[in-house]
Structure 1
Amino acid sequence: MGTSRSSHGGGSTSHGKPMAKPLCSTPPRPRPKLSDAVMADPRRAAAILSGRSKWANRTVLHYCFFSGGSHYAVPKSQADAVRHAFDTWKAVGIGLEFVEVDSLSEAEVRIGYSLADGSSASAVGRDVLKIPLTEPTTVYGWDLTTPYGRGTALHELGHVFGMEHEHQNPFAGIKWHEEAVYASLAAPPNNWSRATTFHNILEKLDTQQVQGSAWDPDSIMEYEFEPGLIDEPQKYDLEGLVPPGTLSSADKAWVVKWYPGNAPVPTVLQPFQSIAADLAAGQQIDCTFKPTVSRKYTIATKGATDTLLALFEEIGGKPSFLAADDDSGEDRNASITYKLFKGRTYHVRLRLYQPGQSGTTSLMVT
Structure 2
Amino acid sequence: MPSERPSNEDVIPGNLIGEDGGPAHLALSPEFFWNSGQKLKVPFLNGSPKLQATVRAYAQEWERHANIDFVFVNDGDAEIRVAFNWKNRDPINWSHVGTGANKFVIDKNQPTMNLGSLDDYTREDELCRVILHEFGHALGCVHEHQSPAANFQWDEPVVIADAQKRYGWDEATTRAQILKKKINATAHTNFDPNSIMCYIIPPEWTKDKKGVNMNLALSETDISFIRKMYPFRTRNAGRLSVDPDIRLWYPTIALNSKIIVFDPPYPLPPRIVLGLTLLDEARTTNIRVRLHTPPASERDNKSFTLNMDSWAETDMYNAAATWLEFVQSEVEFEVGEFNTNDDRSWDKLPPVTDDNFRRDVHRFDFPRGKYTEPPGVVVWLNALDMSKDANWRIRAVARNVSAAGFDLAIESWADTVVYSASAAWVAYPRNHPGVLSGKVSSSDYRNWFPPQASNGARLKFDTPFDRPDPKVFIALSELDMDCSRNLPVSWHGDTWADSILYEVGADWVAFG
Q: CA deviation at 1:90?
A: 1.2
1:147 and 1:266 mapped to 2: Cα distance?
43
**1:200 is the counterpart of 2:177:** yes
Query: What SS is found at the alignment partner of 1:129?
Result: helix
Is residue 69 of structure 2 the alignment partner of residue 97 of structure 1? yes
1:150 and 2:123 equivalent? no
**Identity of matched residues, %:** 26
Looking at both structures, which has the greater relative contact order when contacts are Cα pairs under 8 Å and sequence separation is at least 6?
1
Kept in 2: contact 1:81–1:145 (CA 8 A): no
- Residue in structure 2 matching 1:288, options 332, 340, 351: 332
CA distance in 2, matches of 1:242, 1:235: 10
The answer to whether the 8 Å contact 2:34/2:98 transfers is yes
Structure-2 residue corresponding to 1:70: none
Partner Cα separation in structure 2 for residue 284 and residue 79 of structure 1 = 38
Q: 1:23 to 1:262 in 2, by over 3 A?
A: closer
Q: Following the alignment from structure 1 to structure 2, what is the Cα–Cα distance between the partners of residues 291 and 147?
A: 55
| 2:56 aligned residue | 83
Task: Note the C-alpha offset of 1:56.
Answer: 1.4
> Which residue in 1 is equivalent to 2:142?
164
Name the structure 2 match of 1:297.
none
Distance in 2, matches of 1:284 and 1:9, equals 48
Is the contact made by 1:266 and 1:288 (CA closer than 8 Å) also made in structure 2? no
Q: Does 1:27 align with 2:142?
A: no
Report how far residue 98 of structure 1 moved: 1.9
Matched, 1:113 2:157: no
Query: For the Cα contact (< 8 Å) 1:10–1:148, is it kept in 2?
Result: no
Contact persistence 2:92–2:116 (CA under 8 A): yes
Alpha-carbon distance between aligned partners in 1 of 2:227 and 2:100, rounded to the nearest angstrom = 20
Match of 2:7 in 1: 11
Q: Which residue of 2 aligns with 1:348?
A: none
Work out which of the residue numbers 16, 33, 36 in structure 2 matches 1:54. 33
In terms of fraction of residues, the more helix-rich structure is: 1
Cα deviation for residue 100 of structure 1 reads: 1.4
Say if 2:41 and 2:79, in contact at 8 Å, map to a contact too.
yes
For 2:179 and 2:218, locate their aligned partners in 1 and report how far apart those are by CA, in whole Å.
24
Change (3 A) 1:218 1:252: same
- For the residue of structure 1 that corresponds to 2:162, the secondary structure is helix
| Deviation, structure 1 residue 24 | 2.8
Could you list the runs of 4 or more consecutive aligned residues of structure 1 that deviate by over 6 angstroms after TM superposition? 264-267
Is this contact kept in 1: 2:11–2:199, CA < 8 A? no
Match of 2:168 among 191, 195, 202: 191
How many Å apart are 1:50 and its aligned residue? 3.7
- Over 3 Å counting, the alpha-carbon distance change for 1:250 and 1:177 in structure 2 is same
- How much does 1:292 deviate? 4.4
Alpha-carbon distance in structure 1 between the residues aligned to 2:4 and 2:301: 40
What is the distance in 2 between the residues matched to 1:8 and 1:216?
28
1:256 aligns with 2:262: no
**In structure 2, what residue type is equivalent to 1:99?**
V
Aligned pair 1:182/2:160, yes or no?
yes
Distance 1:100 1:266 in 2: 32
How far is 1:51 from its partner? 1.2
Cα separation, partners in 2 of 1:59 and 1:20, compared to 1, 3 Å = closer
- In the alignment, the residues of structure 1 paired with residue 110 and residue 174 of structure 2 have an alpha-carbon distance, to the nearest angstrom, of 25
- Aligned mates of 1:10, 1:30 — CA distance in 2: 27
SS in 2 for 1:209: coil
**Deviation readout 1:117-157 (Å, 9 max, x if unpaired):** 21011111111112121111111011265302211100111
Contact in 2 for aligned 1:53/1:126 (Cα 8 Å): yes
Q: Is the alpha carbon distance of 1:235 and 1:201 closer, same or farther for their aligned partners in structure 2, counting shifts above 3 Å?
A: closer
What displacement does 1:286 show? Answer: 1.8
Task: State whether structure 2 residue 324 is matched by structure 1 residue 209.
Answer: no
Q: Is the 8 A contact 2:95 2:112 kept in 1?
A: yes
Structure-1 separation of matches of 2:31 and 2:205: 32
Write 1 or 2 for the structure with the bigger share of strand: 2
**Which amino acid in structure 1 is aligned with residue 200 of structure 2?**
E
Residue 96 to residue 284, structure 1, CA distance change in 2 (3 Å): farther
How far apart are the structure 2 equivalents of 1:113 and 1:30?
21
Contact 2:13 2:199 in 1 (8 A): no
Assess, with a 3 A threshold, how the Cα gap between structure 1 residues 113 and 253 changes in structure 2: closer, same or farther: same
CA contact (8 A) 1:95 1:263 kept: no
Say which SS state the counterpart of residue 287 (structure 1) adopts.
coil
Tell me the secondary structure at the aligned position of residue 99 of structure 2.
Answer: helix
Q: Residue by residue, what CA displacement relative to the aligned partner does 1:281-321 show, whole Å, maximum 9, x if unpaired?
A: xx87322299849xxxxxxxxxxxxxxxxxxxx896427xx
Query: Which amino acid is 2:191 matched to?
Result: W
Q: Which amino acid aligns with 1:142?
A: S
